[in-house]
Structure 1
Amino acid sequence: MAPGGVPGSSRPVVSFGEPEGYDEHARPRPLGRRGRSQAVAAGVCLVLGMGLITGAVTGSWLVGDSGAAESRSTFSAAGSLWHSIPVDQLFPPTVEGQGAGPGGADRTWTRIAVAPDTGCEGAFDPLLRKALAPVGCRRLLRATYTDATQSHVTTVGLLFTKADAPAMASLAGRFQRERLDRRSDLMPLPYAERDTPAARFGARQRASWTISVLTDAPVVVYAVSGWADGRTVDDPQPAEDAMASGATTAPAQAGLGHEAKGLADRIERALRKNVRSATEQPS
């Protein structure tokens, strides 16, 4: 307050300067200023942070590469199973089909014949051979089964191709787009062996079938079913159609669609199990 002034007649003037702190010698210094050591520390933190980010990104790339390599390894391992796995693992002597029959009934299939592993010469009708030609034929394995009553017979096949993953995906896409797996002129042929319930299982006895082109393995899985008594079939039906609710054709009524599809699915599962076993790394 100025001399002679009235208390409260004026307000004190306050100025705000930089806040002060104290250095290591207890000397005042503005808090807003950073020492050289702090700037260096900040720079180090920035470098470390960038390193961690770069490491994380690189790690994600490495994981991606590892996954792709594992996929290629699995695909390659599947392609060699035809000569490295015992036949009883690819085509078990007995196959249980829990819930595989019409209405969810259980099925049991018994192997009655195993074809020698061969090439594909004469193993397919001409049109199916042409459809499968883009993936080539490395080896063909086949086995024929009968049901518990020995009234039905089913041949299941594993065609090991020469194709890589893109070629298999391309063929699978074509089969799906053009519905090639439903064309009766592309049915697989059965394998019959004398002195077995399948002795009379020929081309004219084919009643229902299924074909599956795998994309994670160079393999085509198929199955074709018919009656064991040698009766001919004038209206064969794809398994998916024969299994449909309300289907009234002879193959559907006899459950032959379920025979083909159920057995093919279980042989495919066995194949995948063998692939996993072949690619497992010791712990």
Structure 2
Amino acid sequence: MPSLDARGVIAAVQLSVYVPIAIVTGWLVFRFSLRRDAGWLFLFIFTLCREIDGILVVAGQTANPNVDLFTPAYTLQTAGLAPLMLAPLGFIGLVGRNTFSDTRQVSRTLKFLSVMGLVALVFAIAGALLSSPVAPNHGAAGVVLSRVGACTFAVLYLSIVLLHFVALSYRWHIKESRRRLLTGLFMALPFLGVRTAYAILSAWSSSDLFGRQLSGNATLAAVNPVTGNYVYFLVLSVLCELVVVFIYLISSMPKTWRWR
């Protein structure tokens, strides 16, 4: 049986870590989110993306190795950023419930940014598929769409940061438990920013999904999530995502228990 390489090991560990997280977020979705806000729902979707991603990578490298499994795995690696970035929008809506979130301007902003996240998701998926062996004659279009998607994620992140400061300006009008959640959201911003920056660098690191046509820039080539230095992938992508997820879960728990 073929052994796992560095990325295969990362995928296996990622899979084992996200299983309990998926159970927790799944319970939160079932118990609260569908009638309270969408933050946990997006976290649950994100954990499923990372679990499926891990399963596909491990399966692609072990029993009956199949290169075709890597296309959806690497697509999820890129597209999975969308639900992670949509999660804070749901939590911001929760923080400002009955205060600023109910104003027409903020409500419309939240909806607009949610649509932007979905647009970035579409660009990311389309770009990944068109730059993969699935569409060998559309590589150029795939590169363009991937980079447009990465730029859309960047704009979305900056908008989320601004929205956090809008929420901060109302901090004395919201309950203490929600202020704690807002503090957690701010703590996660740097890590989410690093992950977003990594997505941008990755989009310019190669002209194909599998990292075979690397950039001539050595720094960009090194951050490619497939064939680049796995340390960058581990720290700037996997660990940053985990930190963001844990911060969101821990900071939202006090409010959760108050709902029981």
Q: Normalised by the size of structure 2, how large is the TM-score?
A: 0.25
Structure 1 or 2: larger helix share? 2
Structure 1 or 2: larger strand share? 1
Greater Cα radius of gyration, structure 1 or 2: 1
